[in-house]
Amino acid sequence: MATNLNSRLIEDAAVFLRDRIVRTPTVASPGLSAWAGRQVVVKLETLQLGSSFKPRGVLFRMAQLSDEEKRKGVVAVSGGNFGLAVALGARDAGIAATIVMPEQVAQAVRDAVTDTGARLEITADVTSSFARGQVLAGEGLTLMDDCGDPHVAAGHGTLGLEMVEDHPEITDVLIAVGGGAMLAGAATAIKSRNPDIRIWGVETEEAASMTAALSAGKPETVAVSGAIPTLAVPEVDAMALDATQRLVEDILLVSETSAFAGMADLAGKGRIYAEPAAGALAPGLKALAERVPEDAVIGLVICGGNIGPGDFGRILTSTA
């Protein structure tokens, strides 16, 4: 029987992950609160293993692998963070891993992947990376699915449980959308604890696969034109779409340029060092603040910080 994403699976993931990941802090941000005109708290997944939320889902998924799957090894297609999480998890479990990434992935992330001992393949773009992943899966490797695997989504959902436990006063949660698994998992988790909390997604206009799916009522393949690889997923999975349709208020669209500028806003207003995907939360926050009551408490999932100081500085300089 197929496993479905549900609150029980997320609770099981939380038990499994308790001593295997960092229980990252959710803290008030006075600077972002003053900037947005609404109370803001931030979930700092930048402090997680691998500097992103991805190990939550990866480690829980790897625990489901059969002995035969472990022997043959795994493959992951990634814009950065997921691949690094798979490489780290595979190293610790003694499993061979191949990570396929598009060439726009930052060198710092590439180096971190190869440092684990994983095999790294670089392709021309996101589409060719997904195609290469399918070829390797056809050769016998287990494809680690970052978009549609319920165990991955359930692991990601544990961050939602932690947010509500640490700050039960939260009224709204804003999450950046790539493939949608974190949004699906976190929304399921948060709504299971407090159905009155409103969940919002934010994605860039250059990689608006969830927006397209919501409009069509089914997953749609979109042309990804942006330069933020961790958001560059051309098609969301049906699991993520279903959860979004049922549990999410809306998907806020921002430009990629504003996401890069948002990195400067997170740094300058919130003193948060984060990657471009998290930067998209800043313009999303400003847009969301206009749609919620003045007494709203907005939680931001700061999803990752995998960007080298040089690239971070160049982006901030270009947006100044």
Report the mean per-residue pLDDT for the chain: 93
Closest CA to 13 of 74, 73, 76, 55: 55
The residues facing 74 across adjacent strands are: 97, 142
Q: How far is it, in rounded angstroms, from Cα 221 to Cα 235? A: 5
Contacts of 107-114 with C-beta under 8 Å, sequence gap 24+, read 107/308, 108/306, 108/307, 108/308, 108/311, 109/80, 109/81, 109/83, 109/84, 109/306, 112/50, 112/84, 112/87, 112/306, 113/83, 113/84, 113/87
For the segment 201-253, what is each residue's pLDDT rounded down to a tens digit?
999 999 899 999 999 999 999 888 777 777 878 889 999 999 999 999 999 99
Residue 310 binned pLDDT confidence (cut-offs 50, 70, 90): confident
Q: Quick one: CA torsion of 222, 227, 229, 234, rounded to 10 degrees?
A: 0
Average pLDDT (65-71) is: 96
The residues near 39 (Cβ < 8 Å, ≥ 6 apart) are 28, 33, 295, 296, 297, 298
**What are the distances in angstroms from CA 284 to CA 49, 64, 135, 207, 281?**
26, 35, 37, 15, 5
**What are the distances in angstroms from CA 36 to CA 131, 250, 261, 284, 297?**
41, 19, 15, 10, 11
Residue 1 has pLDDT above 60, yes or no: no
Average pLDDT (113-122) is: 96
Residue 320 has pLDDT above 70, yes or no: no
pLDDT recorded at residue 76: 95
Domains and their CATH numbers in the chain: 8-53+153-319 (3.40.50.1100), 55-144 (3.40.50.1100)
For the whole model, what pTM was predicted? 0.92
Look up tokens 């408490």; give the residue.
297
The residues near 136 (Cβ < 8 Å, ≥ 6 apart) are 75, 98, 100, 143
Q: How far is it, in rounded angstroms, from Cα 38 to Cα 52? A: 25
pLDDT recorded at residue 104: 83
For the segment 144-179, what is each residue's pLDDT rounded down to a tens digit?
998 889 999 999 999 999 999 999 999 999 999 988
pLDDT recorded at residue 244: 97
Residue 88 has pLDDT above 80, yes or no: yes
**137 contacts 75 by C-beta, under 8 angstroms:** yes
pLDDT recorded at residue 234: 85
Tokens of 33: 């609160």
